[in-house]
Homo-oligomer: A and B are copies of this chain.
Amino acid sequence: MRTAFYISDGTAITSEVFGHALLSLFPVQFNHKTYPFIETEEEAEKILEKISESFQDTGERPLVFYTIVNVDVRKVIAKSVGINYNFLDQFVAPLEKVLGVPSKPEKHRTHSIHETTYDIRIEAVNYALANDDGSNLKDYHEADIILVGVSRSGKTPTSLYLALQYGIKAANYPFTEDDMGDMLKLPSALRRYKDKLFGLTIHSERLHQIRSERRANSRYASLQQCRMELREVENLYRREKIPFLNSTKYSVEEISAKILAQTGLQRRKY
């Protein structure tokens, strides 16, 4: 199997995202290896050896995705026997022309604590945790968005992703059978913040499957119960004109991107 190397003097997240997106276009399996924080020529020389070894072992030239600010370290990696993708750099010179200013590379600019929005993101994560699963009804005035839906419809991972990735304060509230009675009504804690609500729903068979993994053969997991709860929440969303999304076929990343696009909610971090 051919090896893909991701190398950086920072986290290597940018190399990984770019390389992964490119390689995912091919119906080929790769062996992935990431080397973050390669900050000296000596460290880079060691990686060169690993690239050479991989070539010898597999007979296939490795793919090498790298972003390195330090010129001397970069030159070492550029000598590798692999196929080198210094993908960021080749866009820098043309962009300097467009912007009319020279680039000012600083090590670890992206994904570092020096990003101005870093503290905002951590605060948002703490908020999401403190306001997960209806555990706290009194701080909704601080929320950017309040996700609502039945248990196991994807609220918690989405709240955390919105916080970590975008610095958005997302609370979430689960509608339970207790809320339903004759007909599901909007709890008063939520009604006050109705314009922050966003609903999630999910196919009943998928919900039944997810809940069964947690509590097999329970009433909670039964298809009948899942159907009833979903019917109630979807009726509520329509009656109260709460925007909503069926999460069944979407990843947390997709759900989050769709929520932002649909609500126009501004992220605090780009």
A residues bordering B, Cβ < 8 Å?
2, 10-14, 16-18, 20-22, 24-28, 32, 34-37, 61, 63, 67, 83, 85, 87-88, 91-92, 95-96, 98-99, 101, 103-105, 108-113, 115, 118, 121-122, 125-126, 129, 132, 156-157, 160-161, 164, 249-254, 256-258, 260-261, 270
A67: chain B residues at CB < 8 Å are 21
Specify how many copies of this chain sit in the oligomer: 2
Contact of A26 among B28, B104, B121, B251 (CB under 8 A): B104
- The distance from the CB of A192 to the nearest CB of chain B, in whole angstroms, is 26
With A11-B257, A36-B258, A109-B24 as contacts: A160 and B164 at CB distance below 8 Å: yes
Question: Once the chains bind, are A122 and B252 in contact (CB under 8 Å)?
Answer: yes
A18: chain B residues at CB < 8 Å are 14, 17-18, 88
Kindly list the 8 A-B residue pairs having the minimum CB-CB distance in the complex, ordered from nearest: A11-B257, A111-B253, A14-B21, A36-B257, A25-B103, A113-B251, A17-B17, A32-B270
Question: Once the chains bind, are B103 and A26 in contact (CB under 8 Å)?
Answer: yes
- The distance from the CB of A57 to the nearest CB of chain B, in whole angstroms, is 18
Question: Once the chains bind, are B111 and A251 in contact (CB under 8 Å)?
Answer: yes
With A26-B99, A254-B111, A258-B37 as contacts: A21 and B88 at CB distance below 8 Å: yes
Question: Once the chains bind, are B113 and A257 in contact (CB under 8 Å)?
Answer: no
Ordered by A's residue number, 10 sampled pairs between the chains whose C-beta atoms are within 8 Å are: A12-B257, A13-B17, A26-B104, A63-B95, A87-B91, A112-B250, A122-B157, A122-B252, A161-B164, A164-B164
